[in-house]
Structure 1
Amino acid sequence: MKSYLFLMLAICLEVIATSTLPKTKEFTVWKPTVIFFLLFFCALFSLNKAIKTIPLGIAYAIWSGIGIVLISLTGYFIYKQKLDIPAIIGIVFIIIGVLIINLYSKTAGH
């Protein structure tokens, strides 16, 4: 259970870090750039803690799947970026995949 808390922390930190990318202006604005790298380092540190008991492939699938959904929502609500129907369908499939892993996989470390 503790590993899943680290995984959720890693996901949140990575989403916040990735959300700061546009503000870095291709890493030319120093404050958001430093924040980005600090948050990303903390995300990877948390992911490293999570994979002590969660298999790497499972942890990464969950991390990237939930991250994609949250970043897509961030792009939509904060940066006013639109998603077309194929993108939305793809994101739904990602959510389904993450649910299948968590609900049915014996390797998910439950």
Structure 2
Amino acid sequence: MTQQTLAYLYLAIAIVTEVSATSALKASAEFTRVIPSLIVVVGYAVSFYFMTLVLKTMPVGITYAIWAGLGIVLVAIVGAVTYKEIPGIPAMIGMALIIAGVVIIHVFEKH
């Protein structure tokens, strides 16, 4: 496996664990529920650890743009499915633009 492929695998793990942690924040009820609170803490710790691995290979700006952009969209999807928080048309358009930005960065940026 190449360094670049490994970096993207680590980035995917960082994104998924961050989305899990962020999604568990609401369920933690202000850290009064143990299991969701543990998911938050462990999820963020794992996410940031894997981000440090990604940053050995990819520039911080590109890494963060992909991490944040995909995280926003995935958290919105989890919120819609889990909490019935359906985003409106302006939010969906904004998220589509975020996805477009991530694609443009991925396709055209040489790192």
Q: Deviations over 1:6-53 (max 9, x none)?
A: 001000000111111111101122221122101110000001100101
Ranges in structure 2 where 5+ consecutive residues have no aligned partner: none
Q: Where in structure 1 do 4 or more consecutive aligned residues deviate above 6 Å?
A: none
Aligned counterparts of 1:31 and 1:73: Cα–Cα separation in 2: 22
Aligned counterparts of 1:85 and 1:23: Cα–Cα separation in 2: 26
Which residue does 2:30 correspond to in 1?
A: 26
Q: Percent of pairs identical after alignment?
A: 42
Which residue does 1:69 correspond to in 2?
A: 73
Which residue does 2:46 correspond to in 1?
A: 42
In the superposition, the TM-score normalised over structure 2's length comes to 0.93
Aligned residues: 107
What is the alpha-carbon root mean square deviation over aligned residues? Answer: 0.8
Which residue does 1:15 correspond to in 2?
A: 19
Q: Whose RCO is larger (CA < 8 A, sep 6+)?
A: 1
CA contact (8 A) 2:7 2:57 kept: yes
Aligned counterparts of 1:18 and 1:52: Cα–Cα separation in 2: 25
Deviation (angstroms), 1:82: 1.5
Ranges in structure 1 where 5+ consecutive residues have no aligned partner: none
